[in-house]
Amino acid sequence: MPLLLSKTYEIVTEESAENGEAEERGWAWEACEHSVREAARLIRGLAPSQSPITDPARCWFTQYDEMGDICTGERENTSIHFSHENKPHALRYWIVAIRAAGFKIHGD
């Protein structure tokens, strides 16, 4: 069962961070097919947007750029999202991928 996942990015500069904003945001890719195994690999070790995870359909997983670019100070954070284009039954496979990546879902 393929899962449709999307990857977003945001570039934060020192100036944009002072205003609580990102300098730039966008899609790296949108609604691309992944297997459950690939989805688990993509989100493993990332930070979930919910703690605890209570609504898997609305939970995304972010990799924060801790080091940034030494020359510019820019940091690029990327996030993996469950696409809104998935069919309803795909949610159960997203939940399997979340658990396979080592996360617990509220109520487990």
Confidence at residue 20, expressed as pLDDT on a 0 to 100 scale: 85
3-state DSSP helix/strand/coil % of the chain, to nearest 5: 25, 35, 40
What pTM did the predictor assign?
Answer: 0.90
Give the per-residue pLDDT at 82: 98
E strands within the chain?
Answer: 3-12, 24-34, 47-48, 61-63, 75-82
Separation of CA 95 from chain center: 14
The pLDDT tens digits for 20-38 are 888 999 999 999 999 999 9
Matching residue, tokens 């510019």? 72
